[in-house]
Structure 1
Amino acid sequence: MILRAAIFALTLWSGSAVAQSDPAQAARSAAEQLERATVALEQADGARDRVKALTKTIRAYEAGLAAMRDGLRRVAMRESQLSRQLKVREEEIANLLGVLLVIETSPPPVLQAHPQGPLGAARAGMMLAEVTPALNARADQLRRDLEEIRTLRLLQEKAAETLANGLAGIQKARAELSKAIAERTDLPRRFTEDPVRTAILISSVETLDGFASGLSEIAQNGEVAATDADISDRKGRIELPVQGVVLRRAGEPDAAGVKRPGIILATRPRALVTSPTPATIRYRGPLLDLGNVVILEPQPDTLFVFSGLREVFGEAGQVIPAGTPVGLMGGPAPQFDTILSPDAEGAGADLSETLYIEVREGNRPVDPETWFRTDKSG
């Protein structure tokens, strides 16, 4: 009976160990990313190009915080999974431990006596020899599961300080970047913006088409230096200007049935937006009902329009290298409790901001995915 009970308990518990990816390692890797970003922020002060150094630092923080979100979500899910499994198996584990205890404490004569005589005792001994290693394996698995839960909980506790430092670091980096861009004087210019002409143009147009057509009017004396810039060989392979996912493609109607010729990206709050190519800033600032807008000219007769930013950087007329920050998305800065919570992260609820991207060739809109690499075009 003892052996049958042991076999029965073992059968109930079989299959409990399932190979899992390591969420703990994911969380540790994210913490290391944030620590490297903190070091990079400290080194940015002495960098020859502070704007470039701070841009890389902010990108590193963004990647580290995103990895931390994912890592902690996986940690919480794994801990919850293990806790549920152990709770369901409480009775099974108790039965198993009870059987092991009886086997261990039964006196040898009782174990050796068998109603079928020596042959039955031999068979029982063989069964016990087969079951014992499996019982030990299940006990080892239980110990590993309990140890994993302790490790995951410890990681969550340690993540608090890492997250706090990361959030403070990226906030500081953004402030320093804004200051560094404002103080920058080494960029070439193709024209100097005339604020009066710009105001007149904005007040006289009602659409982006009209504004784009009159862009040359915002320069002093209407003079914009010619350029031979050419990025046509990169068509279809240009990286998006911000980390995010395509929410709506060109020509797809929104909830109100409105169709736009550009694409809409869902991004995280306060995400950094950069110029994907070398380009001239043709305009930056509020425009119509589009919010803050940045219009870049990477080559003659081609415009990249980014709208929906909270902050915009640079000055109209500047020629900027690829990767130069042109703005920050809006929304509240991520909070510590929000990042730690696993509830809504997996559904993409943290991608709460939207950036509208429109590409114009010869003053006519074209599908941005003919230029930018997305999951559809890449």
Structure 2
Amino acid sequence: MTRALLSAILTATALACALPAVAQPASDPAADPVAKAQAEKDRRAESLRAIETALQASTESRAKLEREVAEIKGDGARLNQALIDAARKAQEAEDRISELEARLQTMAGSETALRRSLEARRGVIAEVLAALQRMGRRPPPAVLVRPEDVLAAIRTSMLLGAVVPELQGEAETLAGDLAELVRLRGLIAADQETLRGDIKGWAAERQRLTALIAARQSRLGEAESGLSAERERATGLAGQARSLKDLVDRLDGDLANARRAAGAAKEAAEAETRETRERFAAAALRDPARLAPKVPFAQVRGLVPRPVSGEVVRTFGSPDGSGGTSRGISLMTRPRGVVSSPADGWVAYAGAFRSYGRLLIINAGDGYYLLLAGMDQINVEVGQFVLAGEPVAVMGDMGSAPSAGAGGRNDPVLYVEFKKDGGSIDPDPWWAKGSSEKVRG
């Protein structure tokens, strides 16, 4: 074999075993903090670019959406159901996107390992290709860039007996690895196409959700006068509160004071029900389909839908990183993920609160309060009645710091806490185990 031929074959095998650019890190991110940070930055930038591109809906699609929203705006029940359906579809799309990204990451790792293994055996590939050339069967030019053609050449050489016995085992292993590489590349290409479609569908659903939320808030504006005093009262309490527990206690205490001022003399349960209806009477103007929770919160244990699509990165009772224990759970979400209400209830507080950032407190009745914190935007107002599964907020683009529990990713994190009669309770037993069991709307 001439020196030029050997050089050409080695170059060919290096190109043939090359990975798609998207799956080839320049270095091992785990061993290089700078490379790891850059990889995370690139991943986020690529994800956001894809989302922004997908959000560029056509004029025709936007007009169709506006007509749909205008048609149902006057029907509270239809509008509520449309909101719940849109939030569910957006969160399901977020689940699919996350699963596809994890699958692609796993396959990219396998592909990288195969590429390195093949790189280490370039000599075997060179011998096989040289044997074919000696037999007068020159490999086609395409072998320089396609692993499929390298695989075909090796299989041909084995069938023709061109491989010397000492290399037969190596050639068989090589053929198996190349076949797996070809299979992985096909799966990756298919998943990448599916991912692009899911991102496009998610963006369209988010656009529909945004329009529906705007319609809901516009409809609520008709009863705005009945809410202004309620919002001012909640804001005043937040300013006086020294802690999150203090805020919830004050909200709860304010209910008791209002009941006493009204001269209520019945049992506590009846008084709370009546006061709740009086306090949020304005909700009747906004949601004629439902004025109170469909069932008591205590009865939906094991059926409550999680408010976001994401993974738990901190559990109830685990160390909170500040020397104490967590009174709730933390869920790492996708950038701009949709946050929905876990249960029917009235918005008791919505706004910024100390280190919690944006905080949403939902009064689910019977002494239960559901706290959500860490969102970028809240789409509901104090006094508003919301349904289980109804969109109430949106997450930001990133978290405040990378999470060790999620591979160092810096995705946004939602904090969720359940309270009963002023004390924190573990929310885990309340979550639905499967999507078919979730109580929405």
* Shorter-chain TM-score range: 0.5 to 0.7
**Aligned counterparts of 1:59 and 1:175: Cα–Cα separation in 2:** 14
Q: CA deviation at 1:303?
A: 0.8
What is the aligned partner in structure 1 of residue 424 from structure 2? 365
- 1:289 is paired with a residue of what secondary structure? helix
Native 8 Å contact 1:54 1:176 kept in 2: no
Q: TM-score, normalised by structure 1?
A: 0.63
- Bigger helix share: 2
Deviations for 1:51-95, whole angstroms, at most 9, x for unmatched residues? 234323422442343244234324533432332232222211222
1:320 aligns with 2:386: yes
- 1:327 is paired with a residue of what secondary structure? strand
What is the aligned partner in structure 2 of residue 94 from structure 1? 126
- 2:342 is paired with a residue of what secondary structure? coil
**Aligned counterparts of 2:405 and 2:361: Cα–Cα separation in 1:** 33
Aligned equivalent of 1:209, options 234, 241, 245: 245
Native 8 Å contact 1:181 1:313 kept in 2: no
Aligned equivalent of 1:269, options 316, 335, 348: 335
Q: CA deviation at 1:306?
A: 0.9
What is the aligned partner in structure 1 of residue 277 from structure 2? 225
1:298 aligns with 2:364: yes
User: Sequence identity, in percent?
Assistant: 24
- 2:376 is paired with a residue of what secondary structure? strand
Cα 1:157–1:188 shift into 2, 3 Å: same
Note the 1:112-123 alignment, pairs <5 A.
none
**Aligned counterparts of 1:79 and 1:363: Cα–Cα separation in 2:** 53
Aligned equivalent of 1:73, options 92, 96, 105: 105
1:308 aligns with 2:341: no
- Could you tell me which amino acid in structure 2 is paired with residue 310 of structure 1? D
Deviations for 1:262-316, whole angstroms, at most 9, x for unmatched residues? 2222222221111122222222112233211111122321111111111112222
**Aligned counterparts of 2:316 and 2:100: Cα–Cα separation in 1:** 32
**Aligned counterparts of 2:242 and 2:216: Cα–Cα separation in 1:** 31
**Aligned counterparts of 1:84 and 1:372: Cα–Cα separation in 2:** 44
**Aligned counterparts of 2:378 and 2:111: Cα–Cα separation in 1:** 42
- Could you tell me which amino acid in structure 1 is paired with residue 420 of structure 2? E
Cα 1:174–1:72 shift into 2, 3 Å: farther
Native 8 Å contact 1:246 1:374 kept in 2: no
What is the aligned partner in structure 2 of residue 241 from structure 1? 307
The answer for unaligned runs of 5 or more in structure 1 is: 1-22, 24-30, 106-127, 334-343
**Aligned counterparts of 1:200 and 1:318: Cα–Cα separation in 2:** 18
The answer for unaligned runs of 5 or more in structure 2 is: 1-22, 24-49, 73-78, 138-160, 260-274, 279-291, 435-441
**Aligned counterparts of 1:239 and 1:160: Cα–Cα separation in 2:** 25
- Could you tell me which amino acid in structure 2 is paired with residue 79 of structure 1? E
Cα 1:295–1:371 shift into 2, 3 Å: same
Native 8 Å contact 1:188 1:319 kept in 2: no
**Aligned counterparts of 2:108 and 2:209: Cα–Cα separation in 1:** 30
**Aligned counterparts of 1:255 and 1:345: Cα–Cα separation in 2:** 12
Note the 1:134-283 alignment, pairs <5 A.
141=176, 144=179, 147-148=182-183, 151=186, 165=200, 169=204, 172-173=207-208, 175-185=210-220, 192=227, 194-215=230-251, 217=254, 223-225=275-277, 229-283=295-349
Native 8 Å contact 1:282 1:297 kept in 2: yes
- Could you tell me which amino acid in structure 1 is paired with residue 424 of structure 2? P
**Aligned counterparts of 1:219 and 1:326: Cα–Cα separation in 2:** 27
Deviations for 1:9-67, whole angstroms, at most 9, x for unmatched residues? xxxxxxxxxxxxxx9xxxxxxx9xxx9xx99x877653643423432342244234324
- Could you tell me which amino acid in structure 1 is paired with residue 218 of structure 2? E
Count of residues in Structure 1 that have an aligned counterpart in Structure 2: 308
Q: TM-score, normalised by structure 2?
A: 0.55
Q: CA deviation at 1:150?
A: 6.4
